[in-house]
Chains A and B, each alone.
Chain A
Amino acid sequence: MADLPPPVQGPTAKEKKYDRQLRLWGANGQVALEKSHILLINSGPGVVGLETLKNLVLPGIGNFTIQDSAVVSEPDLGVNFFLEEEHLGGSRAEHTCGLLKELNPDVNGNFVSEPVESWISHPDVLFPYTLILATAPIHPLVLSTLSAYADTAQIPLFYVHSVGFYSHFSVHLPPAFPVVDTHPSPETTSDLRLLKPWPELLEYATQKTANLQGMSPDDHGHVPFVALLLHFLEEWKKEHNGEVPQNYKEKTAFRETVSKAARTNTPEGGEENFDEAVAAVLKSLNPPEPSSSVKDIFKAPESLLIRHNSPSFWVIANAIGLFYTKYGVLPVPGAVPDMKARSADYIELQNVYKSKARKDLAEVVESVRFLERNANRTAQIEEKNVEAFCKNAAHIKLVRGRPFPVIPREGEVKFGGQARTLAQQLSFPDSLLPIYIAFLAWDKFTATHSPQAASSALIIPGLSPTDLASETENITSLAFTIVSDLVKEASASPDEADFATVKTQIGECVQELVRAGGAELHNIAALTGGIVSQEIIKVVTEQYVPVDNTCVFDGVRSRTAVFRV
C-alpha cells in the first residue's frame, strides 16, 4: 500500500508485561492492586503465606510486608522456594522478602523480624496495611487482636491454615462488601426485554419485518432474530387476547410457530436467523425480573437511608431501587449479542438498545443527583460509576462480611446464626465440613496446650512420633466436642447412624492432620496460596465474587468446599 498508516500509540512497557491479566481485571483493577499494601503475618513452615504473596507480587501489588520472627533452618530449604542455603541462620522475614522482591521490580517489599505479639502492641503499627493475611499456627490472642482491628479499620483479614494434605482459609470482610463488576458469564447477561419492549424497539421490529413473506431470500435470511421474535410475539398476542406466551407449553407452541416460518428451500436447508430465534425463545421470553439478592440490596438499610457519608454504591443502589419501583424493571443494560444480520441493521438495533440504556441511565443519574443534594453530599458521584452499575445491575453482589470464629483457649466454639446450616451440611455425602472441624480441633489443641502468654512458643500436635497416638486421640475428642456442641447449638437431632458416620470421618481427618506433625506439603501450600491469592485479587480489585467466608481444600480427594461460618 502506498499510503503508510500513521504511527500508532502501541502498548506501554507496563501494558505489555501485564497484558494477560489486564484482559481480566482491566486498568481499574490494576490501579487498585497497585494501591494495596498487604501484610503477611507468617508462622509455622511459612510456605502458604509466601506462595500467596508470590502470586500477588507477580501481577504487581503496590507493597507487601512480611512479619516473621523465625530463623531460617535446614527444613525450610526442603519446602520453601524463597530461601537459599546461604540464608541458614538468618531472618526468614528478611530473606523471603528479598527473594520475593526479585520477582517484580515494580513492587515494594518490607519485612519485620520482631515477634508478632510485641510488634502488634506498638500503637498504630497496623495502620499502613490495606489487607492482612495471617497464617496458622497463631496464638489466639494475636488472632483476636487482628480480628478486632479488621472490624474497626474495615479492612479484609484472611486466616490461612495449610497442614499436610489439607488446608482451609477464612476471610473476614467488612459488614457490607458490595461488588458491581462481578464479571458474570456472557451467557447469563443477555437481557433483550422482548416481553417489555419500548416503542422504539417495536418500531424497529415492525420496520424490519414489513412484508416478511414477500421478502427476497437474501433479505428474509438476514432479518435480525430480535425483530423476528418481536414480530411473531405481536402475531401471537392477536390470537391470545393480547397475552404473550405464559408457560412452558405455550412457549414451545410459540417456538413451533417461529420454526415453521423459516424457509427451507435454501441451499443450507434452513435459515440461520430463524435458528437463532428458535434457540432464544425459552431463554429470552422471561419477564426481566431481578433476582431476590439484587432486590434485597435495594431494601438494605444502607440503601434506604442515604447520609452525607454513605459509600457511593448505596447512593446508586437507592437510585436504581427507585427506578425499579417506578417501572418494575432494571435499567436496560444496552448490550446486544451478535446475531445473523446485515451490518447496518445490526448497528441500528444496537443503537436502539444503547439509546434506551442512555435514557434509563440519565434518569438514574437524576435520582443520584437528587439524593446527593438531599444528603448534603459535597462530591458528585462520577457518571461512569453510575453507568457501570446500570449495565451490570442484574448481577451486582453484596457480601455481608463477618468475623470467623477464633478458637478460644477456654470455653466453647460458637457458630451462632450459622449453626443450623452447618449442622445440615454435616450429613451431606462427601461433605468437607469434617476437615474444617478437624482444623478447629487442631487450633483448640494448640490454644489449650500452649502457655497462656501470647509471647510463648506454640505447641504443635504430631511433632514427635512418641506422642502421635495420644495427640491424635486428644484432638479427636476435641473435634467430637466441637461437633456435638454444633449439633446442640443448631437444636438438630441427627440420625444416630449418620452421626456415627460423621464422627468416623472426623476421626480420619484428625488422624491425617496430626500425621503431618504441623508440616506443610509444598504442593498443597502452593495450591492453597493460588486460591487465596485469587481471593485477595478479587477483594482488592472489587471484581468477581469472593468466597463467603470459609473454604476447605482436600488434597486427598482433590476437592474444595465453601461454607459460611
Chain B
Amino acid sequence: MAEATITSSSTVAGPRAKWTYLDKFLNRTGPFTDPDSFQPGKTVIESLERSKVFGAGGLGCEILKNLALSGFKDIHVIDMDTIDVSNLNRQFLFRAADVGSFKADTAARFVEKRVKGVKITPYCGKIQDKDEAYYMQFAMIVCGLDSIEARRWINATLVGMVDEQDPDSLKPLIDGGTEGFKGQAKVILPTMTSCIECQLDMHAPRAAVPLCTLATIPRQPQHCIEWAHIIAWEEHRKEITLDTDDPEHITWLYQQALARAQEFNIPGVTYSMTQGVVKNIIPAIASTNAIVAASCCNEAFKLATNTNPFLGFPETDNYMMYTGDESVYTYTFEHQKKDDCPVCGLGTIARPLEVSPNMTLQDFVESLAEKPEAQLKKPSIRTGEKSLYIQSLADLERQTRHNLEKKMVDLVEEGEEMVITDKAFPTQFKYKVVFK
C-alpha cells in the first residue's frame, strides 16, 4: 500500500481539510485498484474535480447530494417537473413551501448552499430539448428517470454519439430505477456493453386489459376505473382534456367507476385506487431511492477515479438488481449485449417479432405499444417495398390510413423485414416478421 500525499492522522488544514475522508481513497491504493488506471494523489483529485457530470430523473435529489459529496464540482441537472406534495415523502431537498416550483431549480440551489464549492447548473425542461453537442460536454450521465421513453431516448442518443476515432465521445450511462422495495442500477458503455434497448424485455409493460372486458364484462374494480378513464370520459366529457392532477376530474372518474362497479356487484373501488390506476402510480419510498441512487453514484465515483473496479467494464458484471421486501437480496450479473439490438447492435440483423397473420395492421400498430421487445406508442412502419403506415406526417398518414383495416398476412411475408420509427426515439427499429 502506498500513500501519495502525506496527510496527518485526523484533521488537515487547508483546502482539502473538508475532503479528509474522501482523500483516504484518492491518495491510497487498495488491493483491487488497477495500477495502470489509478493514479493516486493530485492527478486523480484534479481529474475528479474537472469531470462534468449530468444528472436527471426522479432520483435527482439523491443523485445531486451523492455526486456533490463524492467530490464532483461541476454538475448539470435537467428536470421538467414541478414539485408536488406527494414528492415530499422522499425528495428531501423540497419543502411544503416549494410545492409548485421547478424541481431542478430548487434542488440545485439547495445543494449549492449545503455543499460549498460545488456548481450545479439546472435546466427546467425535457432531456429531449438538448442536442448531442450538449451531452458531449459531460464525462458521464447519471440517470434515475421515471419513464422508459426518456431512458430509451438518452440511451439511443448516447449510442449515436459514439465516434470510434474519438474516445471522448463515449459517455458512460449510469441508470437506476425503483419500485416499492425493489430497484436496479446498471452501467452502460454505449456501443461496448448491453444498452437500455438490449435490456428492454426486463422492463415489460403491464399487460393492458382488453377493451371488450372493460366495455362488456368487467370483473375487477380496476376494470371499472379503466372503463371510466377510457370510455366514459370520452363519451361524456370529450370537450374537456383530462388532467389527472385535477381533483375534480379524478372525483368524476371515481364516481363513474363506483356506479359501474355497483351495477356489476364488484367491490373495492376507492378514490385512492382510482388515482393509482389513472395516473399509473408506482409506489416509492425514500429508502429504496437512497439505495439505488447511491449505487449509481458509487459506480460514477469509481468510474471517475478508478479507486476500485466499476460495474460495466466489458465482459464483467454491469447490472445490479435489488430486492428488499423479503430479507435483502441482490443479483449482480453481466447483461449480455444483443447483436440484434436495434440501437447498439450490428445494424444488419433484424429482431424477430411475432405477428398473428390474421390481425389487422391497426391491431398490430396498437400491439407494438405493449410488446416487451418493442414498446412503441406512435410507430410508423415501412418494409423494403412499401410504407405500411406512417403517422409522423399528416399527408402520409392520410395516404397510408387505408392499410389499417388490412390483415397482416396480406401486407407482409414471413421473414420480411419491417423498419419501424417512432418520433420518441432518434433511431429506427428493424424487425423480422415471424407468423405465429
Contacts and interface: CB of A to CB of B under 8 A. Distances in A.
Interface in B107-150: 113-116
A233 B220 CA distance: 27
B153 interface: no
Interface string B10-38: 11000001111110110011111000000
A103 B92 contact: yes
A183 interface: yes
B66 interface: yes
B324 interface: yes
B348 interface: no
Nearest to A464: B9
B24 A164 contact: yes
A74 interface: yes
Interface string A466-494: 00110010000000000000000000000
B346 interface: no
Interface stretch (A257-265, A300-308, A549-557): A549-557
B286 A58 contact: yes
Given A16-B85, A17-B86, A81 B24 contact: no
A73 B18 CA distance: 8
Given A8-B271, A347-B266, A521-B25, A526 B89 contact: no
B295 A558 contact: yes
Contacts of A55: 285-287, 290
A176 B205 CA distance: 40
Nearest to A51: B290
Given A468-B3, A508-B31, A19 B281 contact: yes
B290 A547 contact: no
Contacts of A555: 298, 308
B308 to A, nearest CB: 5
Nearest to A504: B31
A341 B216 CA distance: 11
Interface stretch (A149-157, A278-286, A371-379, A528-536): A528-536
A544 B181 contact: yes
Interface string A36-80: 000000000100000100110011100000000000011101110
Pick the most buried of A1, A19, A85, A507: most chain B CB atoms within 10 A of its CB: A19
B69 A81 contact: yes
A360 interface: no
Interface in A345-375: 346-347
Interface string B24-60: 1100111110000000000000000000000000000
Interface string B213-231: 0000111100000000000
Contacts of B95: 102
A515 interface: yes
Given A511-B30, A558-B295, A545 B21 contact: no
Contact of B1 (A472, A520, A535): A472
A534 B288 contact: yes
Interface in A9-26: 9-11, 13, 15-24
B9 A463 contact: yes
A560 B290 contact: no
A522 interface: yes
A519 B24 contact: yes
Interface residues of B, number: 94
Given A5-B255, A11-B271, A84-B114, A20 B89 contact: yes
Contact of A222 (B217, B285, B317): B217
A401 interface: no
A54 B287 CA distance: 9
Contact of A20 (B32, B251, B284, B290): B284
A519 B25 contact: yes
Contact of B311 (A469, A520, A558): A558
B244 to A, nearest CB: 13
Contacts of A196: none
A73 B10 CA distance: 10
Contact of B32 (A10, A508, A523): A508
Interface stretch (B328-336, B368-376, B409-417): B328-336
B266 A511 contact: no
Contacts of A537: 285, 287
Nearest to B209: A338
Contacts of B320: 558-559
A182 interface: yes
Contact of A342 (B185, B217, B293): B217
Interface in B296-325: 297-299, 301, 308-309, 311, 317, 320, 322, 324-325
Nearest to A164: B25
Contacts of B308: 165, 512, 555-556
Contact of A58 (B92, B114, B219): B92
B123 to A, nearest CB: 23
A183 B272 contact: no
A339 B209 CA distance: 11
Pick the most buried of B31, B65, B71: most chain A CB atoms within 10 A of its CB: B31
B325 A58 contact: no
Interface string A69-102: 0000111011101001100000000000000001
B263 to A, nearest CB: 9
Interface string B179-223: 011000100000000000000000000000000000001111000
Contacts of B238: none
A54 B286 contact: yes
B21 A45 contact: yes
A407 interface: no
B332 A558 contact: yes
Contact of B65 (A81, A85, A103): A81
Interface string A109-134: 00000000000000000000000000
Contacts of A269: 356, 358
A531 B264 CA distance: 44
B175 interface: no
A413 interface: no
A13 B18 CA distance: 40
A527 B19 contact: no
Nearest to B309: A556
B66 A523 contact: yes
Interface string B69-101: 111000000000000011011101001100000
Nearest to B311: A558
Given A1-B236, A512-B32, A24 B92 contact: no
Nearest to A104: B88
B219 A534 contact: no
B291 A557 contact: no
B294 interface: yes
A381 interface: no
A523 B327 contact: no
A341 to B, nearest CB: 6
A23 B280 CA distance: 12
B272 to A, nearest CB: 7
B219 A79 contact: no
B6 interface: yes
B330 A558 contact: yes
A548 interface: yes
B31 A533 contact: no
B24 A517 contact: yes
Nearest to B273: A23
A156 to B, nearest CB: 15
Contacts of B32: 508, 512, 556
27 contacts: A8-B254, A11-B275, A17-B89, A24-B180, A24-B285, A55-B290, A58-B90, A58-B286, A74-B20, A102-B95, A164-B25, A182-B326, A267-B358, A342-B217, A511-B31, A512-B30, A512-B31, A515-B28, A519-B22, A526-B62, A527-B295, A530-B288, A544-B324, A544-B325, A546-B327, A547-B327, A558-B332
Q: Give the 9 A-B CB pairs with smallest separation, nearest first.
A: A530-B290, A530-B291, A527-B294, A519-B21, A5-B255, A75-B20, A522-B69, A526-B294, A78-B18
Given A10-B271, A347-B264, A468-B1, 14 more contacts: A17-B88, A21-B283, A54-B290, A58-B286, A75-B17, A81-B65, A165-B298, A182-B326, A269-B358, A515-B24, A515-B28, A526-B65, A530-B291, A558-B332
